[in-house]
Protein backbone atom coordinates (compact mmCIF):
# COMPACT_ATOMS: atom_id res chain seq x y z
CA UNK A 1 0.00 0.00 0.00
CA UNK A 2 1.27 3.46 -0.88
CA UNK A 3 1.94 5.98 1.88
CA UNK A 4 0.03 9.25 1.92
CA UNK A 5 3.27 11.11 1.14
CA UNK A 6 3.84 8.87 -1.89
CA UNK A 7 0.31 9.44 -3.12
CA UNK A 8 0.64 13.23 -2.73
CA UNK A 9 3.90 13.16 -4.67
CA UNK A 10 2.26 11.21 -7.48
CA UNK A 11 -0.61 13.69 -7.50
CA UNK A 12 1.78 16.64 -7.77
CA UNK A 13 3.65 14.93 -10.62
CA UNK A 14 0.47 14.33 -12.61
CA UNK A 15 -0.85 17.85 -12.01
CA UNK A 16 2.49 19.40 -12.97
CA UNK A 17 2.64 17.29 -16.12
CA UNK A 18 -0.90 18.17 -17.18
CA UNK A 19 -0.33 21.87 -16.39
CA UNK A 20 2.78 21.82 -18.58
CA UNK A 21 0.78 20.18 -21.38
CA UNK A 22 -1.94 22.83 -20.99
CA UNK A 23 0.62 25.62 -21.32
CA UNK A 24 2.21 24.03 -24.38
CA UNK A 25 -1.22 23.75 -25.98
CA UNK A 26 -2.09 27.39 -25.37
CA UNK A 27 1.36 28.53 -26.52
CA UNK A 28 1.40 26.54 -29.74
CA UNK A 29 -2.22 26.04 -30.83
CA UNK A 30 -4.37 29.10 -31.41
CA UNK A 31 -6.96 28.66 -34.14
CA UNK A 32 -8.73 31.89 -35.19
CA UNK A 33 -12.50 31.41 -35.17
CA UNK A 34 -14.35 34.71 -35.38
CA UNK A 35 -13.51 38.37 -34.71
CA UNK A 36 -10.66 38.42 -32.16
CA UNK A 37 -11.64 35.07 -30.66
CA UNK A 38 -9.54 31.93 -31.13
CA UNK A 39 -9.72 28.34 -29.96
CA UNK A 40 -6.92 26.75 -27.96
CA UNK A 41 -7.35 23.36 -26.28
CA UNK A 42 -5.69 23.95 -22.91
CA UNK A 43 -8.98 23.27 -21.08
CA UNK A 44 -8.77 19.66 -22.27
CA UNK A 45 -5.58 19.04 -20.27
CA UNK A 46 -6.90 20.95 -17.25
CA UNK A 47 -10.12 18.94 -17.35
CA UNK A 48 -8.07 15.73 -17.21
CA UNK A 49 -6.60 16.87 -13.91
CA UNK A 50 -10.04 17.83 -12.68
CA UNK A 51 -11.53 14.46 -13.60
CA UNK A 52 -8.68 12.62 -11.87
CA UNK A 53 -8.30 14.72 -8.72
CA UNK A 54 -11.42 16.88 -8.47
CA UNK A 55 -12.53 20.49 -9.03
CA UNK A 56 -10.06 22.09 -6.60
CA UNK A 57 -7.17 20.60 -8.55
CA UNK A 58 -8.68 21.99 -11.75
CA UNK A 59 -8.97 25.43 -10.15
CA UNK A 60 -5.32 25.36 -9.08
CA UNK A 61 -4.20 24.26 -12.55
CA UNK A 62 -6.27 27.00 -14.19
CA UNK A 63 -4.76 29.74 -12.05
CA UNK A 64 -1.19 28.52 -12.48
CA UNK A 65 -1.44 28.02 -16.25
CA UNK A 66 -3.20 31.37 -16.75
CA UNK A 67 -0.54 33.19 -14.71
CA UNK A 68 2.29 31.58 -16.69
CA UNK A 69 0.45 32.38 -19.92
CA UNK A 70 0.04 36.03 -18.89
CA UNK A 71 3.77 36.56 -18.25
CA UNK A 72 4.98 34.62 -21.30
CA UNK A 73 2.87 34.35 -24.45
CA UNK A 74 -0.15 36.58 -23.78
CA UNK A 75 -0.40 40.29 -24.47
CA UNK A 76 -3.81 40.64 -22.81
CA UNK A 77 -2.50 41.42 -19.31
CA UNK A 78 -4.79 41.27 -16.31
CA UNK A 79 -7.96 41.22 -18.42
CA UNK A 80 -6.75 38.11 -20.21
CA UNK A 81 -5.79 36.47 -16.92
CA UNK A 82 -9.20 37.15 -15.43
CA UNK A 83 -11.13 35.93 -18.47
CA UNK A 84 -8.98 32.81 -18.85
CA UNK A 85 -9.54 31.75 -15.24
CA UNK A 86 -13.29 32.41 -15.39
CA UNK A 87 -13.70 30.63 -18.74
CA UNK A 88 -11.73 27.57 -17.70
CA UNK A 89 -13.12 27.19 -14.19
CA UNK A 90 -16.77 27.69 -15.16
CA UNK A 91 -16.46 24.77 -17.59
CA UNK A 92 -13.88 22.46 -16.05
CA UNK A 93 -14.69 22.80 -12.35
CA UNK A 94 -18.39 22.25 -13.02
CA UNK A 95 -17.69 19.08 -15.01
CA UNK A 96 -15.15 17.81 -12.47
CA UNK A 97 -17.52 18.49 -9.55
CA UNK A 98 -20.24 16.34 -11.07
CA UNK A 99 -17.88 13.59 -12.24
CA UNK A 100 -16.30 13.37 -8.79
CA UNK A 101 -19.71 12.37 -7.41
CA UNK A 102 -20.74 10.11 -10.25
CA UNK A 103 -17.72 8.33 -11.75
CA UNK A 104 -19.58 6.73 -14.62
CA UNK A 105 -19.87 7.36 -18.33
CA UNK A 106 -23.19 9.07 -17.69
CA UNK A 107 -21.58 11.19 -14.97
CA UNK A 108 -18.86 12.30 -17.36
CA UNK A 109 -21.35 13.23 -20.07
CA UNK A 110 -23.66 15.03 -17.64
CA UNK A 111 -20.70 16.86 -16.12
CA UNK A 112 -19.39 18.06 -19.49
CA UNK A 113 -22.85 19.18 -20.65
CA UNK A 114 -23.36 20.98 -17.34
CA UNK A 115 -19.94 22.59 -17.75
CA UNK A 116 -20.97 24.00 -21.13
CA UNK A 117 -24.35 25.09 -19.74
CA UNK A 118 -22.62 27.03 -16.95
CA UNK A 119 -19.77 28.37 -19.07
CA UNK A 120 -21.88 29.92 -21.83
CA UNK A 121 -24.01 32.34 -19.75
CA UNK A 122 -21.08 33.08 -17.42
CA UNK A 123 -18.92 34.10 -20.37
CA UNK A 124 -21.70 36.18 -21.94
CA UNK A 125 -21.91 38.17 -18.71
CA UNK A 126 -18.16 38.61 -18.30
CA UNK A 127 -17.62 39.43 -21.97
CA UNK A 128 -20.25 42.15 -21.60
CA UNK A 129 -18.47 43.52 -18.49
CA UNK A 130 -14.81 43.14 -19.49
CA UNK A 131 -14.51 43.33 -23.28
CA UNK A 132 -15.44 47.05 -23.45
CA UNK A 133 -12.62 47.77 -21.00
CA UNK A 134 -10.18 45.54 -22.90
CA UNK A 135 -11.00 46.79 -26.40
CA UNK A 136 -11.96 50.33 -25.46
CA UNK A 137 -15.20 49.78 -27.37
CA UNK A 138 -18.67 51.09 -26.47
CA UNK A 139 -20.59 48.65 -24.29
CA UNK A 140 -23.52 48.86 -26.72
CA UNK A 141 -21.29 47.54 -29.51
CA UNK A 142 -20.16 44.64 -27.35
CA UNK A 143 -23.76 43.89 -26.35
CA UNK A 144 -24.56 43.55 -30.04
CA UNK A 145 -21.84 40.88 -30.34
CA UNK A 146 -23.06 38.67 -27.52
CA UNK A 147 -25.62 36.56 -29.39
CA UNK A 148 -24.19 36.43 -32.94
CA UNK A 149 -20.52 36.02 -31.93
CA UNK A 150 -19.80 35.17 -28.28
CA UNK A 151 -22.71 32.74 -27.79
CA UNK A 152 -21.90 30.39 -30.72
CA UNK A 153 -18.16 30.69 -30.09
CA UNK A 154 -18.48 29.47 -26.51
CA UNK A 155 -20.88 26.70 -27.51
CA UNK A 156 -18.46 25.48 -30.20
CA UNK A 157 -15.47 25.77 -27.85
CA UNK A 158 -17.26 23.82 -25.13
CA UNK A 159 -18.41 21.11 -27.52
CA UNK A 160 -14.90 20.68 -28.95
CA UNK A 161 -13.35 20.50 -25.49
CA UNK A 162 -15.95 17.98 -24.31
CA UNK A 163 -15.39 15.78 -27.38
CA UNK A 164 -11.60 15.79 -26.98
CA UNK A 165 -11.93 14.99 -23.26
CA UNK A 166 -14.18 12.01 -23.97
CA UNK A 167 -11.69 10.66 -26.51
CA UNK A 168 -8.49 11.23 -24.52
CA UNK A 169 -9.38 10.55 -20.88
CA UNK A 170 -9.44 6.74 -21.03
CA UNK A 171 -6.06 6.41 -22.85
CA UNK A 172 -4.50 8.91 -20.43
CA UNK A 173 -5.70 7.09 -17.32
CA UNK A 174 -4.64 3.74 -18.76
CA UNK A 175 -1.16 5.05 -19.60
CA UNK A 176 -0.67 6.69 -16.18
CA UNK A 177 -1.60 3.49 -14.38
CA UNK A 178 0.51 1.25 -16.55
CA UNK A 179 3.57 3.44 -15.99
CA UNK A 180 2.90 3.55 -12.25
CA UNK A 181 2.44 7.32 -12.12
CA UNK A 182 -1.08 6.79 -10.79
CA UNK A 183 -1.56 4.22 -8.08
CA UNK A 184 -3.76 1.23 -8.83
CA UNK A 185 -5.18 1.67 -5.33
CA UNK A 186 -6.16 5.32 -5.80
CA UNK A 187 -9.73 6.53 -5.72
CA UNK A 188 -9.83 6.74 -9.48
CA UNK A 189 -9.30 2.97 -9.73
CA UNK A 190 -12.78 2.48 -8.26
CA UNK A 191 -14.51 3.79 -11.38
CA UNK A 192 -16.69 0.85 -12.37
CA UNK A 193 -18.43 1.97 -15.55
CA UNK A 194 -17.03 5.42 -16.18
CA UNK A 195 -14.66 6.34 -18.93
CA UNK A 196 -12.84 3.06 -18.14
CA UNK A 197 -15.49 1.36 -20.25
CA UNK A 198 -15.34 -1.59 -22.61
CA UNK A 199 -13.67 -1.32 -26.01
CA UNK A 200 -17.11 -1.38 -27.64
CA UNK A 201 -18.33 1.53 -25.52
CA UNK A 202 -15.12 3.44 -26.11
CA UNK A 203 -15.44 3.04 -29.88
CA UNK A 204 -18.94 4.45 -29.57
CA UNK A 205 -17.53 7.40 -27.62
CA UNK A 206 -14.96 8.02 -30.36
CA UNK A 207 -17.64 7.97 -33.06
CA UNK A 208 -19.92 10.39 -31.23
CA UNK A 209 -17.06 12.69 -30.24
CA UNK A 210 -15.70 12.61 -33.79
CA UNK A 211 -19.10 13.60 -35.13
CA UNK A 212 -19.25 16.51 -32.66
CA UNK A 213 -15.78 17.69 -33.70
CA UNK A 214 -16.64 17.46 -37.41
CA UNK A 215 -19.90 19.35 -36.85
CA UNK A 216 -18.12 22.13 -34.95
CA UNK A 217 -15.44 22.46 -37.63
CA UNK A 218 -18.04 22.67 -40.40
CA UNK A 219 -20.08 25.19 -38.40
CA UNK A 220 -17.08 27.43 -37.90
CA UNK A 221 -16.05 27.13 -41.54
CA UNK A 222 -19.47 27.82 -43.00
CA UNK A 223 -21.25 30.06 -40.49
CA UNK A 224 -19.00 31.86 -38.04
CA UNK A 225 -16.31 32.63 -40.61
CA UNK A 226 -18.78 33.20 -43.42
Predicted confidence pLDDT, tens digits, the chain (226 residues): 455 677 788 889 999 999 999 999 999 999 999 888 999 999 999 999 999 999 999 999 999 999 999 999 988 899 999 999 999 999 999 999 999 998 888 999 999 999 999 999 999 999 999 999 988 889 999 999 999 999 999 999 999 999 999 999 989 988 888 887 776 544 545 554 455 556 778 888 999 999 999 999 999 998 877 6
pTM value is 0.91
Closest CA relative to residue 46, chosen from 150, 172, 151: 172
CATH code that applies to domain 4-224 = 1.10.1760.20
Is the four-CA dihedral 202, 205, 211, 215 of positive or negative sign?
negative
Closest CA relative to residue 169, chosen from 195, 191, 190: 195
Amino acid sequence: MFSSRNLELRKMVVLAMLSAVAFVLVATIRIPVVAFLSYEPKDVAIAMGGFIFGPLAALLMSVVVSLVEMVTVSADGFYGLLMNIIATCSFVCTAAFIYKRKRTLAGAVIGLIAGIAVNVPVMLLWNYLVVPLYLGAPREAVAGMLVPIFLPFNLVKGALNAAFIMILYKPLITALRKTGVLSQTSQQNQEQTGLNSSIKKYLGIILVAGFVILTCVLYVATVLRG
